[in-house]
Amino acid sequence: MQEFKPVMASVPGKARPIPYRLVPMDRELVPQIAELERQSFSLPWTEQMLYDELESLNSSCIVAVDGDRRVLGYASLTVAADEGYVNNIAVRRELRRQGLASDLLGVFLRFAQARKLAFLTLEVRPSNLAAIALYEKHGFRQVGRRKNYYDEPTEDAILMTRFFQPEEGAQ
Ligand SMILES: CC(C)(COP(=O)(O)OP(=O)(O)OC[C@H]1O[C@@H](n2cnc3c(N)ncnc32)[C@H](O)[C@@H]1OP(=O)(O)O)[C@@H](O)C(=O)NCCC(=O)NCCS
């Protein structure tokens, strides 16, 4: 989790490796994560909601930061008994499609395997084709739908779940 990993920025004309590492969220990172939320979602989590996550015993946020502690992406997981719920995952717009979200999700997949969770599950907008493709690539399958789950705009939620067999290794 502390290891730096290279990722190529997709900023036109400025493609160069940007090393980053995955770290647990701390209070100092919260304002940047709230900004990323605002960039990514119509109903973003507030700073207060993120501080509450820090206090929660059942939740954990993992953050991709560069060498200057600039937040590049983040993801949030809540665990109840043997069930894992992926709350949020977001990557800075200019750094998408470089494998960052896959790295963040990979932390949760390995955690789920190590803790012998039965499954990881999440909700996603049907219009969010990028996220659906990301989850399908990591073994999540569409298992249900919640009618009018989202606001702004109103939209159903697709439920996606990755089940784990006791002997299965996470990817
Ligand atoms: C969804 C999101 C987190 C993906 O982050 P990312 O770092 O770009 O994802 P990755 O680079 O790890 O992509 C992994 C795979 O997901 C799929 N994928 C990701 N973005 C895609 C896109 N725009 N179109 C199609 N497939 C896409 C691809 O299969 C990709 O693998 P590939 O690049 O080898 O083809 C990012 O687009 C984002 O932050 N969106 C806004 C916030 C959001 O909607 N979060 C999800 C809420 S449910």
Spell out which residues line ligand 1, taking CB within 6 angstroms: 40, 89-91, 96-102, 124, 128-131, 133-134, 137
Domain assignment present for residue 144? The answer is: yes
User: What CATH number corresponds to the domain at position 156?
Assistant: 3.40.630.30
171 found inside a domain: no
Three-state DSSP class for 88?
strand
Q: Domain of residue 112: give its range.
A: 5-163
Task: Report yes or no on 170 lying in a domain.
Answer: no
Listed range (14-28, 59-73, 106-120) with the worst mean pLDDT: 14-28
For the chain, what is the mean pLDDT?
A: 90
Kindly state whether residue 54 falls inside one of the protein's structural domains.
Answer: yes
Instruction: Name the closest-CA residue to atom 10, ligand 1.
Output: 99
Position 22: which residue type? L
Letter for the amino acid at 46? T
Q: Which residues pair with 159 in a beta bridge?
A: 123, 144
Residue 125 CA, ligand 1 centroid: distance in Å: 13
Nearest-CA neighbor of 120 among 162, 159, 88, 160?
162
Question: Catalytic site residue 135?
Answer: yes
Q: Is residue 56 part of a domain?
A: yes
Locate 30 and state its tokens. Answer: 């919260």
Q: Is residue 169 part of a domain?
A: no
What's the 97 CA to ligand 1 centre distance in angstroms?
Answer: 6
List, for residues 72-99, the tens digit of each pLDDT value.
999 999 999 999 999 999 999 999 999 9
**Helix-strand-coil percent breakdown of the chain, rounded to 5?**
30, 35, 35
The predicted-structure confidence for 93-116, as pLDDT tens digits, reads as follows: 999 999 999 999 999 999 999 999
Whose CA is closest to atom 14 on ligand 1? Answer: 134
Q: How many helices (H) and strands (E) does the chain have?
A: 4, 8
| Catalytic (active site) residue 28 | no
Q: How confident is the model at residue 4 (pLDDT cuts 50, 70, 90)?
A: low
- Over residues 117-124, mean pLDDT: 98
What is the distance between the alpha carbons of residues 23 and 33, in angstroms, rounded to a whole number? 13
The residue type found at 85 is Y
Number of structural domains the chain divides into = 1
In a domain, 19, yes or no: yes
Which among 20, 74, 135, 150 is annotated as catalytic? Answer: 135
Is 101 part of a structural domain of the chain?
yes
Annotate 11-39 with DSSP letters as a single string. STT---EEEEEEEE--GGGHHHHHHHHHH
CA 46, CA 38: separation in Å to the nearest integer?
9
The confidence band for 6, taking pLDDT boundaries of 50, 70 and 90, is: low
